[in-house]
Amino acid sequence: MLDQQAEMSSGAGSVTSTGTKATRALGIACLAGTALLVFLGLVGTPEDEVQGDSVRLLYIHAPAMWVAYLAFGITALGSVMYLWKRTRSLTWDRVAGASAEIGVVFTAVGLVTGMIWGHLSWGVYWTWDARLTTTSLLFVLFLGYLALRRMPAEPHVRAKRAAILGIIAFIDVPIVHQSVEWWRTLHQDATVLRRDLDVQVDGIMLFTLFLGFIVFTSIYAWLLLHRHRVAVMEDALDEHGLELAIEERRAEGMATA
């Protein structure tokens, strides 16, 4: 118990704010990149020969799903590092939890933009297509992961349970990505992340798409840094509350003695 409290104190005592000069600079860069992406996505790129203006959703949908993959991958990595005895630390648990929260948000963005795109392309917002079904399952799995993290438990017990579920839930990520190749699906084939490396867009559209990947990844990094620091301060607050409760119990014991 004392070792666990010491670990939490050492991780939390050095964090008094979620912002630094580096994160503020990164935040400004994210805002500038987002503004450029919006301009290029809406004005600077042409319509698609087949999909028309609906192709502009590509600049949000594909980067959002990439960040979801990345975020859940970091969750799985943090979970593995926590379960490995040589690197076991609540820091890895915090990183895993923070990354999962961000991943869920970007998965929701991917699902919503995908539904809008589907309505424009297929005439319906939702169909039990393999890609949509596996993606919705991924969303639900990590919502369950976050719910598990909220259940009352000793920190290391909670971290172990969450780590196991985080690794299991990540298995769905490659299934989501490969679903368009493994099953007959309405969803179009991959545009950029293809096994044959044959990118299906070029010119200003390709530049805008890659800008979207860079901007969304930068936003993910900015959010992860801030959410991790919030988690550190939350743990410090919980520890402080525990210490106050123990002191009150001691005071009550001395008063009745």
State the pLDDT at residue 251: 57
**Can you tell me the mean pLDDT for 119-126?**
80
pLDDT band at 96 (very low <50, low <70, confident <90, very high): very high
Does residue 17 register a pLDDT over 80? no
169 in Cβ contact with 141 (< 8 Å): yes
97 in Cβ contact with 44 (< 8 Å): no
Q: What is the rounded distance in angstroms from the CA atom of residue 39 to the CA atom of residue 182?
A: 36
Does residue 20 register a pLDDT over 60? yes
HSE (CB half, 13 Å, CA atoms) of 227? 18
Q: Which residues contact 199 (CB under 8 A, 6 or more apart)?
A: 191, 192, 206
Q: What is the rounded distance in angstroms from the CA atom of residue 192 to the CA atom of residue 201?
A: 8
Among 118, 111, 117, 164, smallest CA distance to 140 is for: 111
Give pLDDT tens digits for 128-160. 888 889 999 999 999 999 999 999 888 899 999
Give pLDDT tens digits for 43-94. 988 887 767 788 889 999 999 999 999 999 999 999 999 999 999 999 999 9
State the pLDDT at residue 161: 96
Q: How far apart are the first and last CA of the chain?
A: 26
Q: What is the rounded distance in angstroms from the CA atom of residue 63 to the CA atom of residue 184?
A: 24
Q: What is the rounded distance in angstroms from the CA atom of residue 156 to the CA atom of residue 149?
A: 11
State the pLDDT at residue 1: 44
Helices (H), 17-89: 21-39, 58-83
Q: What share of the chain is helix, strand, coil (3-state, %, to 5)?
A: 80, 0, 20
State the pLDDT at residue 39: 95
Give pLDDT tens digits for 220-254. 999 999 999 988 888 777 666 555 545 555 555 55
Q: Which two tokens stand for residue 240?
A: 């402080």
State the pLDDT at residue 119: 81
171 in Cβ contact with 20 (< 8 Å): no
Domain spans in the chain, listed from the N-terminal domain onward: 59-232
Give pLDDT tens digits for 163-214. 999 999 999 999 998 888 877 766 666 556 555 555 566 688 889 999 999 9
State the pLDDT at residue 134: 92
Q: What is the rounded distance in angstroms from the CA atom of residue 114 to the CA atom of residue 200?
A: 18
Alpha-carbon torsion, ordered 62, 66, 68, 69, to 10 deg: 140
Q: Which two tokens stand for residue 21?
A: 């000069």
